[in-house]
Structure 1
Amino acid sequence: MTKELEKEALPVHVTDRIFFVDLANKQQTTIPLHILELENLEELHLEKNLIESIPGDIHHLKKVKVLYLNMNSIRDICEQLGELKSLQSLDLSSNPLSYSSLHIISKLRALRQLRLYDVNLDEFPVEICKCLHHVELLGLSGNNLRYLPKEIVNLRKLKEIYLQKNRFESFPLELCHLPNLKIIDLEQNLVSFIPEEIVSLTNLVKLFLAFNNLLSITDKLHHCQRLTVLDLSNNLLRRLPRSFKQLTEMNELGLSGNNLEKFPHQICHWKSLCLVYLKNTGLQMLPSSFARLTCIKILDLSENFFDEFPKEICAMENLEILSLDDNQICEIPPEVTGLPNLKCLGLTGNRFSVFPEEVFLLESLEKLYLGQDKGIKFTTLPKDISKLQNLKELYLENNCLEYLPSSMGLLSNLEIVDCHNNFLKELPDSICQVQGLQKLFVQNNQLFQLPENLDSLQKLHLVLLDGNPMTDPPVEVCSQGKVAIWEYLREKRNQKAKATKVQGIRDLLHCTNCIISNLVFYTEIFYRACYARP
């Protein structure tokens, strides 16, 4: 490509005063030469392209601080990249990099952020650990690492390290010698224990250890007094150490997927707790002390063994998202009015004998999940659904509904309706009043026709009708998607209008003929009467 053509391909007018260029996802096969002439350029985005190599002229970008080349096809890193003395953030993730060229990164002494996600690393280069003393963020997720070099302790300023989806069988002890670490992500590895040396990480704020093989947690972890986020989901834990109650700064806890022997009472001491994930933990009830946690905004208690709606939850006035899906709950207490800010409620897969109308007390609801893939199924949806004026998404799949109430037309904020796998015979015409509707899922019902004005819903972009005995529109039209359905509805309406017009003309002609006939008849009578006078 000539320089002139390259210049025309760029989305910006190239001048020497450009400081930022974004050419991400532009099908670039090379780094345009005009870009490499921008001596004042500070930030360059070239991710998601088809670039196979970094040209030697990259060294002209002497002031560049941020360089994103992730998601390309780069194999070798050229020596000239090491001359970018101002470079502070480099992303080479998702490239087939050769290990032999990675040493060049060690020359970038000003580097503060280095991302090498998904580059098939079996080991991390020692040279980088020895030379890059200013690195604060190191991203190595999605590789094949089993250990870290002992030289990583030279990265004294390291604050964040991401090691997700590797092959670590033990917690890298070297990390415990990096006192400035604030974030450690070791999710989806094979880690079986946390060393007691973790007590030295007094600045640790976030620790992610989900999807590992942890059987227990060291009680020394409470020495990490600044810890606010701890994710231990999907491990083999049975309990938490008693000392955990001392982690008073905790804001987010993930324990889902652990078969707990009993509820971990320690967390009831964490007054600032906002997000709690206890999905599939074998719980049957909550302690009364749980009601103290009034700051909770997100609570996941799905896939447990609750046979009653936990009343302890009803005191959580800040709660916004509550998931109680796949439990054994039969009814909802009226105390739910104590949840004035609840926006999302999941009750799918419980044991309600009738539709729990208490949900209508939650006027702030925006999302309601009441699908019943198991247990008793609903046959009716109460008309009082219209009380949920803030509702945006309604999920009622896998029930036995035959009709939807016409009051649904009053839900002006509704965007998604999912009623697939029911027995719906028709959709109410009033649904055409819900002008914000975007998605309508009614697969596998008993529908044979659609409301004739459904195409008036201009925002409705997805309609799924598979598995219905449709005749109006016919199945072959429905299988072609929304455009074909809309065209059918418009044509049907046009034909109906024409037929109505023709019938109107016929009726008018008939009326006119009647008037004329009557006029003739009465005229004759008048004349006869006139001539009959003496």
Structure 2
Amino acid sequence: MPNVRFSEAVTSFYVDTALRVSRTVHVSQDNDLQAVPSTLVHPGDRLLFADFAQQVLTNFPATQITSLRDVEELHMEKNAIHNIPEEIKFLRNLKVLYLNDNCIDSLCEELGELTTLVRLDLSNNPIGCSNSIEVISALHNIQELRLYNTQLEEFPAEFCKKLIHLELLGLSGNKLRSLPKEIINLVKLKEIYLQKNKFESFPLELCQLSELEVLDMEGNSLRVLPKEIACLQKLEKLYLAFNRLQSLPNSLSSCEQLIVLDVAGNSLQDLPQSIAQLAYLKELGLSHNDLRVFPLQLCKVTSLQVLYLQNTGIKTMPSNFINLGKIQFLDLSQNCLHYFPAEICSLLNLQMLSLDDNRIHKIPAEVNKLANLKVLGLTGNKLKAFPEQICFLESLEKLYLGQDQGKKFAVVPENIGQLKNLKELYLENNSLEFLPATIKLLEKLEILDCQNNILKELPESICELKGLQRLLLQYNQLTSLPKDLDRLQKLKVLILDDNPMSDPPVNICSQGIPAVWKYLQEKRLRHVKATKIQAWWRGLMVRKGLGCFARLQAELRKARKEKQEKGKKGSAKGKKGKGSGKGQRPSAGKSKKK
């Protein structure tokens, strides 16, 4: 099953007028903006929002600055702009500026004159190698600054002294090893993103930012989380995944407002007992740690709704796991479970369950209690046959039963048609020779993956899956397709590679869906013509007075039969004459008879 990553908080900015010009921008052959569309610029009108994103521009529209003098939000991201012109200083009302994903390697001094700017994004530009980045320190009113992937090796201390209104600071994807001690001046800072840098120790200065709500240091080399983390009592989201942590401090429980804690991909073998005191914790990521035993203290965190335990070496689940009745998402994939934990069947709010790549050999009948389950992953287990118990999970929308590592299924049961809400069905890497006709009852099915089986034919009923968008059938033994498969008008992907196809032939299949549909339609048309010709011939026989077609057919069969009998008699005579010819000795019995 696909991993689900905790989403990063995204803020929005409200503007009075949202006149988007991205669909009507005029771009010259030199990829330079010629003009702001006149339809949007009228005397007396105030253009407050302009979007020139993804227009393949190589130059900032300096000549059109006067037309944008009232703009408060300007989007220039995802172009090929190399420089910011000095004319930008005339945008006196600009509050939001997006210049991320360009080719800017230096900043002009005039950028510092945009004193009304509250949000600036310069991510994915190589500006970190230039001293010109210091100009940002002049933007005293800036509240959100994003400098992701800008090749920064050091965060300027000057920023910490002058940008005292900062609430969001994005520095992920750089080369930072430390932060300046002056960062404690950012007393209003609520969110800081330091993911994928080169930190080997936790910056203690961060623990003095008492307003901090989101702290992301995923993908560094941290070995210890200091006890001073307890000072961040407003912290709501803490991301520390893929570091080198061997333990968590007991003082973490002082972060009483914590909602999300992600410590996946570390070297944890246990959790502090105090974690049970995190009364508001809803999402906990523990995947890829060496726990081996389910931490009993987690059973007291009854607020949990999302729990990741992928690849943690867990073999059993404790009986009091049923206390976590609010769990909606549970990932227990890639563990050592030999059975489907019965305790899970008591989690009535469960919507997503991943048990892929375990050693489960049987599904309990009690699984039908999971009335709200929408996604179920059982890929790569030791199930001996398709688990029919799951056919009673009527709310199921996605079912993963591919067996690339586990035992393979030979049959899909007829009652799979009970899964009326199923949208995605994955049955790859099994030993299926056919699919049941009841598959037509999966009216909401959008994806059907049957690759790498031994399918020899498809049921005609598959043509009734009107919502099917992806049909994966590579590596099977199919020679033909259902004659009405082209009824699947929503189908976007049809893969038939490595099948001994003859109807349609391989060269047609390799050309894609339009070619396959054309072949099926032409074949159907030929059949219709042949039927008409046969009907015409039958009618002609009747009209000519040669009798009823059925009687004519009977007489024809009778004539053929008589002809065959005469041929047999003639053959018998020939054999008798051959036996009495020259050189043959008649048997004693025949001589006496003569």
> Do they superpose with TM above 0.5?
yes
Structure 1, unaligned runs of 5 or more? 519-534
- Identity among equivalent positions (%) equals 54
- The residue aligned with 2:347 is 316
Identify which of 420, 430, 434 aligns with 1:403.
434
Q: Is the 8 A contact 1:53 1:74 kept in 2?
A: yes
Identify which of 274, 284, 287 aligns with 1:256.
287
Identify which of 152, 156, 176 aligns with 1:125.
156
Superposed counterparts of 1:44-55, under 5 Å: 44-55=74-85
Distance in 2, matches of 1:332 and 1:516, equals 66
- The residue aligned with 1:437 is 468
Aligned residue pair count: 517
Superposed counterparts of 1:54-453, under 5 Å: 54-97=84-127, 98-453=129-484
Distance in 2, matches of 1:30 and 1:37, equals 16
Q: Is the 8 A contact 1:14 1:34 kept in 2?
A: no
Q: Is the 8 A contact 1:169 1:192 kept in 2?
A: yes
Task: Report the 3-state secondary structure (helix = DSSP H, G, I; strand = E; otherwise coil) of the residue aligned with 2:494.
Answer: strand
1:11 to partner: Cα distance: 10
Distance in 2, matches of 1:491 and 1:272, equals 61
Distance in 1, matches of 2:299 and 2:117, equals 46
- The residue aligned with 2:48 is 19
1:248 to partner: Cα distance: 1.4
Distance in 2, matches of 1:2 and 1:330, equals 64
Task: Report the 3-state secondary structure (helix = DSSP H, G, I; strand = E; otherwise coil) of the residue aligned with 2:40.
Answer: coil
Q: Is the 8 A contact 1:30 1:50 kept in 2?
A: yes
Identify which of 33, 39, 44 aligns with 2:69.
39
Deviations, residues 153-181 of structure 1 (Å, cap 9, x unaligned): 11111110111111111111111111111
Structure 1's 28 and 12: CA in aligned 2 closer, same or farther, altered over 3 A? farther
1:36 to partner: Cα distance: 5.1
1:129 to partner: Cα distance: 1.2
- The residue aligned with 1:525 is none
Structure 1's 11 and 247: CA in aligned 2 closer, same or farther, altered over 3 A? farther
1:500 to partner: Cα distance: 2.1
Q: Is the 8 A contact 1:37 1:60 kept in 2?
A: no
Q: Is the 8 A contact 1:95 1:118 kept in 2?
A: yes
1:252 to partner: Cα distance: 0.4
Deviations, residues 211-230 of structure 1 (Å, cap 9, x unaligned): 11111111111111111110
Structure 1's 75 and 90: CA in aligned 2 closer, same or farther, altered over 3 A? same
Structure 1's 36 and 411: CA in aligned 2 closer, same or farther, altered over 3 A? farther
AA matched with 2:491: L
Deviations, residues 86-123 of structure 1 (Å, cap 9, x unaligned): 11110000012143111111111110000000111111
Task: Report the 3-state secondary structure (helix = DSSP H, G, I; strand = E; otherwise coil) of the residue aligned with 2:461.
Answer: helix
AA matched with 1:512: R
AA matched with 1:450: L
Q: Is the 8 A contact 2:65 2:88 kept in 1?
A: no
Q: What's the TM-score, normalizing by structure 1?
A: 0.94
Structure 1's 291 and 502: CA in aligned 2 closer, same or farther, altered over 3 A? same
RMSD between superposed Cα atoms in Å: 1.8
- The residue aligned with 1:530 is none
Q: Is the 8 A contact 2:59 2:83 kept in 1?
A: yes
Deviations, residues 343-374 of structure 1 (Å, cap 9, x unaligned): 00001111111111000121100000111112
Deviations, residues 279-315 of structure 1 (Å, cap 9, x unaligned): 0001011111110111111000001111111111111
Distance in 1, matches of 2:66 and 2:186, equals 31
Structure 2, unaligned runs of 5 or more? 1-27, 550-594
Task: Report the 3-state secondary structure (helix = DSSP H, G, I; strand = E; otherwise coil) of the residue aligned with 1:211.
Answer: coil
Which aligned runs of 4 or more in structure 1 are off by greater than 3 angstroms?
Answer: 5-12, 514-518
Distance in 2, matches of 1:177 and 1:307, equals 47
1:508 to partner: Cα distance: 2.3
Distance in 1, matches of 2:330 and 2:545, equals 75
Q: What's the TM-score, normalizing by structure 2?
A: 0.85
1:12 to partner: Cα distance: 6.6
1:10 to partner: Cα distance: 5.1
Distance in 2, matches of 1:502 and 1:78, equals 81
Distance in 1, matches of 2:38 and 2:51, equals 9
Identify which of 32, 39, 59 aligns with 1:30.
59
Deviations, residues 417-437 of structure 1 (Å, cap 9, x unaligned): 001010000111111101000
Distance in 2, matches of 1:10 and 1:470, equals 55
Identify which of 507, 514, 521 aligns with 1:483.
514
1:9 to partner: Cα distance: 7.1
